[in-house]
Amino acid sequence: MTQPTLILASSSRYRRELLNRLGLDYTTESPDIDESSLPGETPKDTALRLSEMKARAVQANHPGAVVIGSDQVADLNGVKLGKPHTFERAVEQLEAMQGNTVVFYTALCVLDAQGKAEKLVSATTVKLRPLTRRTIEAYVEREKPFDCAGAAKIEKLGIALMESVSSDDPTSLIGLPLMKLTTLLAHAGIEAVDGLGETC
């Protein structure tokens, strides 16, 4: 049985690197959407809404394709932390986070070939070490984490800033929860391993 075309609705190199682990044939397309939060929207709800918006924006250009959308928002005591984009903003985010617990909500949406959405959220709780401004600035200068929510890249030097990490999916914090993704893809007719969608 031929599997449908698979598209990752993202320009993120981190998500591409993660999806490559599954060995699937896919293409990428960057969705053109407004990623602003809505008034009163929780970080979790923002991530869920944007993950579906990204997937639908891309599927509109590719009817019949299976599309993966994902979005991540960090929650610091109810305050949303997105991508910092600048050195100054990255330092500001990390100063606010240091010594505190932050929850990173990584939302996932898979649209099947008929456009039916299946969505979920993976939560990762991160406790940052107490950090001096010197340490924060040195980290930001070296890593330039301007495209990561909360400016902390666990897959690189950012791990040194963290005291503890707790998650239901080890790849969630990097940007794409692969354990959950393989389940949603199987439901949409794309299996990373033959027979994965079958039950014992």
Residues belonging to the active site: 71
CA angle 67, 64, 16 (to 5 degrees): 25
CA distances from 197 to 19, 182, 186, 187 (A): 18, 9, 5, 7
Question: What 3-state class would DSSP assign to 185?
Answer: helix
β partners of residue 164? 127
Containing H/E element for 27? strand 27-28
